[in-house]
């Protein structure tokens, strides 16, 4: 029994060590990225070289569960990978990097009992080239859940709408790093959604949009006021907000082209929900297969029977199932899902990258909601599941860093 317990404990420790290393790498990536941007924009608040910063001061999002993570930045590191490339000119070969080194230790729960591994050190390094110039401009639109369940608390006792607002404000801080010079680098928009299934409230459209809370696309970050104005309201229908975002994306190429000469900007949709869309009773066109049936012509009844009867005799003619037709079918179904997924497919066809975040979804909705969000996203790497506000913050921070990397074309 002792051996079994120690074996299970060691497996737990190894999982935690793996998580610690992954967190360290993510933190190093974030720190190096922030450092490289600050150098390019001569930001006076940049990380000071050689100073050991605690995790809370790095701003990478999430929680350091080890309580030991620190990070140090070095500047003017020669990009040795480029320096050895004969195809590059002298200017490229002299490219400099910001290097972030993140370290920490994990105190094992079980492995130290019968071994010397009471603590395990971990370390991660990330190199990011200084951004010589902006890369491709981008449009970043948020389609976020403002349903009534967002007023409830996650498993860390944080009100979910409060967690969403905090994460979005932190995301804007990341994006603001690349807009320091006031350049027209990116555009943002906000489409909060809810659903009024009883049609009692004029401030919620029939397709879930909350017009008073919508922030149409503008240059720069979403302002704090627009984010803080969101409120939790009633049901869940993402279809209208997604459709509005898709319609707006269709004009972004022309808008960017007129401003900065780029008719193919990067386009990102960040779609977030804390539960499944509501079902609704609606009519839609579906393919309905013809069923098998029987007719008793001998008795002159000519009545159609859709199931076999006990009294059928040898004169009953059987017509097997074959073919079908498109028919109007009225039923209670996930119609909001179907319309939302059709719009997601439309956006992806328009080269929109869709990040989908499932935030503290109730267990009875989890399977359905996460399947829906994965289908809407641009792939497994673009779907995030966040169980609480800290995980949501980390998901937004990771997405923000990824977008910044794409926009300014930094090099790890």
CA distances from 75 to 53, 72, 84, 224, 276 (A): 15, 10, 20, 32, 47
Structural domain boundaries, residue 62: 2-129
Pair 115, 193 in one domain: no
pLDDT per residue, tens digit, the chain (412 aa), is 555 555 665 678 888 888 888 889 888 888 888 887 776 555 666 788 999 999 988 877 778 889 999 999 998 887 766 555 555 454 554 567 889 999 999 988 766 565 666 888 999 998 887 655 556 789 999 999 999 999 999 988 999 999 999 999 989 887 876 655 556 778 999 999 999 877 777 788 888 899 999 999 999 899 999 999 999 989 999 999 999 999 999 999 999 998 878 888 999 999 999 999 999 888 878 888 898 999 887 776 778 888 888 888 888 889 999 888 888 888 888 999 999 999 999 999 999 999 999 999 989 899 999 999 999 999 999 999 999 998 999 999 889 888 887 775 543 3
Pair 258, 347 in one domain: yes
Pair 80, 94 in one domain: yes
Residue 350 tokens read as 């328009």
Give residue 93's pLDDT.
45
How far apart (Å, rounded) are the C-alpha atoms in residues 337 and 49? 50
Q: State the greatest distance between any 2 C-alpha atoms of the chain, in Å, as a whole number.
A: 99
Give the containing element (helix H, strand E) for 160.
Answer: helix 160-176
- Average pLDDT value for the chain: 85
Residue 175 tokens read as 């994006």
CA distances from 122 to 19, 23, 62, 68, 107 (A): 10, 10, 18, 10, 11
Residue 107 tokens read as 């105190």
Strand partners for 145: 193
Pair 242, 391 in one domain: yes
Pair 200, 268 in one domain: yes
Q: How many domains does the chain have?
A: 3
Give the containing element (helix H, strand E) for 24.
Answer: helix 2-40
Determine contact, residues 32/104, Cβ cutoff 8 Å: no
Residue 380 tokens read as 């497994």
Residue 382 tokens read as 């673009």
Burial class of residue 298 in the structure, from the number of CB atoms within 10 Å of its CB (0-12 exposed, 13-18 middle, 19+ buried): exposed
Pair 250, 368 in one domain: yes
* CATH number of the CATH domain containing 345: 3.40.50.410
Give residue 136's pLDDT.
76
Give residue 411's pLDDT.
39
Pair 249, 376 in one domain: yes
Give residue 298's pLDDT.
72
Pair 368, 390 in one domain: yes
Q: Where are the alpha helices (DSSP H) in 185-270?
A: 224-228, 239-260
Give residue 250's pLDDT.
95
Give residue 11's pLDDT.
75
Pair 185, 245 in one domain: yes
Strand partners for 333: 280
Determine contact, residues 292/321, Cβ cutoff 8 Å: yes
Helix or strand or coil: residue 410?
Answer: coil
Pair 119, 264 in one domain: no
Residue 410 tokens read as 């930094």
Pair 154, 293 in one domain: no
How far apart (Å, rounded) are the C-alpha atoms in residues 356 and 359? 10
Pair 313, 383 in one domain: no
Determine contact, residues 171/30, Cβ cutoff 8 Å: no
Determine contact, residues 174/302, Cβ cutoff 8 Å: no
Determine contact, residues 346/246, Cβ cutoff 8 Å: yes
């Amino acid at each position: 029994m002792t051996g079994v317990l120690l074996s299970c404990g060691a497996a737990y420790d190894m999982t935690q060590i793996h998580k610690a290393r992954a967190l360290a790498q993510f933190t190093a990536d974030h720190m190096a990225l922030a450092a490289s941007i600050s150098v390019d924009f001569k930001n006076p608040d940049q990380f000071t070289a050689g100073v050991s910063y605690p995790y809370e001061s790095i701003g990478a999002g999430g929680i350091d569960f080890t309580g030991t993570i620190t990070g140090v930045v070095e500047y003017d590191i020669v990009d040795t990978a480029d320096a050895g490339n004969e195809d590059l000119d002298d200017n490229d070969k002299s490219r400099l990097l910001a290097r972030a080194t993140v370290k920490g230790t994990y105190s094992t729960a079980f492995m130290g009992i019968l071994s010397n591994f009471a603590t395990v050190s971990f370390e991660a390094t990330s190199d990011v080239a200084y951004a010589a110039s902006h890369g491709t401009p981008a449009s970043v639109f948020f389609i976020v859940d403002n349903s009534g369940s967002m007023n409830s608390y996650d498993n860390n006792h944080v009100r979910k709408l409060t967690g969403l607002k905090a994460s979005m404000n932190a995301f804007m801080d990341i994006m603001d790093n690349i807009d320091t010079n006031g350049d027209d680098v990116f555009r943002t928009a906000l489409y909060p959604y809810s659903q009024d299934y009883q049609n009692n409230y004029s401030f919620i459209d029939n397709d879930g949009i909350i017009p008073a809370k919508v922030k149409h696309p503008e240059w720069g970050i979403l302002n704090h006021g627009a984010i803080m104005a969101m409120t939790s309201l009633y049901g869940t229908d993402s279809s209208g907000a997604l459709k509005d975002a898709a319609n707006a994306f269709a004009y972004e190429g022309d808008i960017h082209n007129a401003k900065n000469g780029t008719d193919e900007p990067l386009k990102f949709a960040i779609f977030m929900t804390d539960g499944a869309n509501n079902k609704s009773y609606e009519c839609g066109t579906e393919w309905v297969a013809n069923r098998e049936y029987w007719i008793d012509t001998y008795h002159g009844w000519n009545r159609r029977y859709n199931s076999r009867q006990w009294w059928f005799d040898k004169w009953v003619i059987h017509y097997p199932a074959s073919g079908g037709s498109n028919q109007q079918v009225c039923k209670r179904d996930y119609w909001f899902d179907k319309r939302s997924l059709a719009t997601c497919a439309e956006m992806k066809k328009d080269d929109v990258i869709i990040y989908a975040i499932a935030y503290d979804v109730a267990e009875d909705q989890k399977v359905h909601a996460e399947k829906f969000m994965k289908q809407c996203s641009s792939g497994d790497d673009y779907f995030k599941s966040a169980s609480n506000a800290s995980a949501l913050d980390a998901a937004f921070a990771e997405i923000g860093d990824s977008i910044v990397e794409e926009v300014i074309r930094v090099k790890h």
